[in-house]
Amino acid sequence: MRKRIFEIIELVGARDDVVSHAYDIGMIVVIAASLVPLMFKHSTPVFTAINYGATSVFIVDYLLRLTTADYKLGRGWTSILLYPFTFMAIVDLVAILPTFSLLGEGFRTLRVLRLLQAMRVFRALKIFRYSKDVEIIARVMRRQKESLYAVCALAIGYVLLCALVVFNVEPDTFDDFFEAVYWATISLTTMGYGDIYPLSTVGRVVTMVSSIIGIAVVALPAGIITAGYMTEIQKRRTVDEENEE
């Protein structure tokens, strides 16, 4: 019985398993519905009911995954102790806890309420578990993690270097080094909000160089993920063709 439950909740995109496929679709619908109240500033009885209903579903899902964790982690009954510390289990818990916290009188300050409501946005991360395409992207990112780490290190180093240069070129424009890092980040991503910008010729030259190189740096992760995604799709097609034969 537990093994069948594990197959239903874990076999993402298993179209040959009608129950598992229906479970995935149902969970995506519940997650999407739970995010609707966050799009409005004021709560209504309907939104409250949606929140409590979605939380109840999330609790059941969490308990099912907890009791079948040994099939997923393969470490016997100790898996039940290890599972709560896995990334997706933490996401599940963060999606559940704000609803209970809002019930306590000790959480009635406005700032804390806003923080707890914002934490409910993490429910969107639960969709990753039930989407076949997202699962493929996650697999690509795991396999290409060394390349992605290298690109991230390059981007961070470039941001800090540009921030250091412009901070010393135009000390009057930036109040502190963090503002220079903020400027370098938005320049690297070519967003350019315009709230902070260099005034001197040298500072503007640094901005132009930073933006041009930033285009290449930002494009690197997209290229790595796209290439890996296409490889995974091709592998899946090959497997499907072999199974059809």
Per-residue pLDDT tens digits for 121-178: 666 667 666 666 667 777 777 777 788 888 888 888 888 888 888 888 887 778 888 8
Same structural domain, 115 and 157: no
Give the tens place of pLDDT for each residue, 40-75.
777 788 888 888 898 898 889 889 888 888 888 887
pTM for the model stands at: 0.56
Same structural domain, 126 and 159: no
Contact in structure between 196 and 174 (CB atoms under 8 Å): yes
Same structural domain, 199 and 172: yes
Predicted pLDDT of residue 188: 74
Predicted pLDDT of residue 190: 66
In a domain, 93, yes or no: yes
Contact in structure between 13 and 132 (CB atoms under 8 Å): yes
Same structural domain, 79 and 185: no
Alpha-carbon span 221 to 149, nearest angstrom: 10
Same structural domain, 115 and 12: yes
Same structural domain, 126 and 10: yes
Same structural domain, 76 and 15: yes
Give, in degrees to the nearest 5, the angle at Cα 161 between 155 and 164: 140
In a domain, 137, yes or no: no
User: Given 75, 99, 130, which residue is the final one in a domain?
Assistant: 130
Residue 106 has pLDDT above 50, yes or no: no
Alpha-carbon span 3 to 70, nearest angstrom: 10
- Give the domain CATH number at 209: 1.10.287.70
In a domain, 136, yes or no: no
Which burial class, exposed, middle or buried, applies to 213 when counting CB atoms under 10 A from its CB (0-12, 13-18, 19+)?
middle
Question: Which amino acid is present at 52?
Answer: Y
Radius of gyration of the chain (CA): 23
In a domain, 135, yes or no: no
Same structural domain, 175 and 74: no
- Average pLDDT score over the chain: 76
Predicted pLDDT of residue 107: 44
- Give the domain CATH number at 12: 1.20.120.350
Same structural domain, 124 and 170: no
Domain residues for 199?
145-244
